[in-house]
Amino acid sequence: MEDIIFKAKIIEKNENKKGKYIILNHTEFYPDGKGGQLGDRGTIDSSKVVKVDISDNKIFHFVDEFPSAKSNKEVTCIISGERRRNISIHHTAQHILSGAFFNLFDIETVSFHMEENYCTIDLSTPNISQEEIEDAEELANKIVMANVPVRKYFVNKEELAKLPIRKKHAVTGKTRIIEIPDFDISMCGGTHVNYTGEVGVIKVTKYERVKKTFQRIHFTTGINALKDYQNKTKILSTISNFLTTGENELIEKIKNLLKESKHLQKETVKLKNELLRYMAKDLIKESKRIGKFDVLIKEIKDYPKEDIIALSKKCISEKPLLTILYRKDNETEIAISKSDKVNIDLMELKEELSKRFKVRGGGNNKFLILQINEDEGFKEFILDFIQRN
């Protein structure tokens, strides 16, 4: 579609919190958001139109910078034909897809939203099946391929009353009608293509329930749909190559992999448990008598915090013991646990440690997990505490 060029006079040049705007004595720029549609873009003299708003029946053309022309002077306005055409394709596709859901299943479209590369419609149903969506998508594409004219005309109140409109809403004065013969008649003031074939293709890409009452259908059209298809083909063939599996066998393959991974996770937990039990049996041999208690104090390298906690608890289940296991990372992490028979107050130990070091963490009288900023001397400090008890 060629760019639309028209002349107009500036009647207001001003700025509000949304930015710099121009109001013209007349305009052909379609505003953003009207009828769910995106607005036109283009230029007013050398200024770029970045957004078009409608408010109090006035059209605000937001521009990157003001044109040099003063108020009441004539300016040349250019609307991007390519963008207008893309928007028209999206919008016409919406009529066709909404018409398909209505004709097949009596499902109404309650709202429509347009983005640059895709659109959404909200359908008046909380539930819809994949098959129903595919049926509507197929019917919509048959209408596209039939390349029937998209009729645009105005009717008065009496004529409007006689028309089988898909979704009626209150209007005053003349009403603009968009008709796809023998398929769909809608009231709409937006921009549309002249023949359904111009839409190219309509592809539903996603659907989801919203607000528990609607189904939101995401769809894309024409070149955008082709790009989406190209991207999905690329993703699918990459996964297919990774897994050295044909595309049609991928679902089964991934299901099996997930099952296997779950099984392996369970196995790993079991083996880890076993390993820690053996480690504990070995470690307690290194425990020494300090004061009244058997004490194991040892650095455990290359194991995560969770394992050290588990190991510490396993040690005391093997033998009446006080264990202090620690690992050094950015700070020193210490797991302290004791058997019931070891009569020492761990909360008091924590309190004394806190007086001497910067300590975080906590626990109870049976188990402590602490982080200490500096590690110099904490071992000696704990051993001294044990001897005093």
Q: Which residues bind Zn ion (CB under 5 A)?
A: 91, 188, 190
Nearer to Zn ion, 119 or 188 (CB): 188
Nearer to Zn ion, 61 or 91 (CB): 91
Least distance from Zn ion to the Cβ atom of residue 91, Å: 5
Least distance from Zn ion to the Cβ atom of residue 53, Å: 20
300: helix, coil or strand?
Answer: coil
Least distance from Zn ion to the Cβ atom of residue 225, Å: 19
Nearer to Zn ion, 11 or 171 (CB): 171
Nearer to Zn ion, 107 or 114 (CB): 114
Helix axes 250-283, 222-242, angle to 10 degrees: 50
Nearer to Zn ion, 109 or 215 (CB): 109
70: helix, coil or strand?
Answer: coil
**CA–CA dist 277, 203 (Å, integer):** 57
Helix axes 305-318, 250-283, angle to 10 degrees: 50
Written as one letter, the residue type at 373 is: N
Calculate ∠ Cα 379-302-338, nearest 5°: 45
Q: CB within 8 A of 108, min separation 6: which ones?
A: 98, 101, 102, 123, 124, 166, 167
Nearer to Zn ion, 54 or 290 (CB): 54
Least distance from Zn ion to the Cβ atom of residue 188, Å: 3
- With CB atoms as reference, the residue minimizing the distance to Zn ion is 188
Least distance from Zn ion to the Cβ atom of residue 137, Å: 19
Nearer to Zn ion, 15 or 116 (CB): 116
Element (H, E) at 54: strand 47-55
Least distance from Zn ion to the Cβ atom of residue 195, Å: 15
- If one counts every other C-beta atom within 10 angstroms of the C-beta of residue 241, the result is 9
Least distance from Zn ion to the Cβ atom of residue 17, Å: 31
Q: Tokens 């915090």 label which residue?
A: 305
Least distance from Zn ion to the Cβ atom of residue 61, Å: 22
Q: CB within 8 A of 288, min separation 6: which ones?
A: 294, 295, 296
Element (H, E) at 61: strand 58-63
Instruction: Check if the beta carbon of residue 96 is closer than 8 Å to that of residue 137.
Output: no
Handedness of CA 224, 228, 233, 234 (dihedral sign): positive
Nearer to Zn ion, 109 or 220 (CB): 109
* DSSP label at residue 195: B
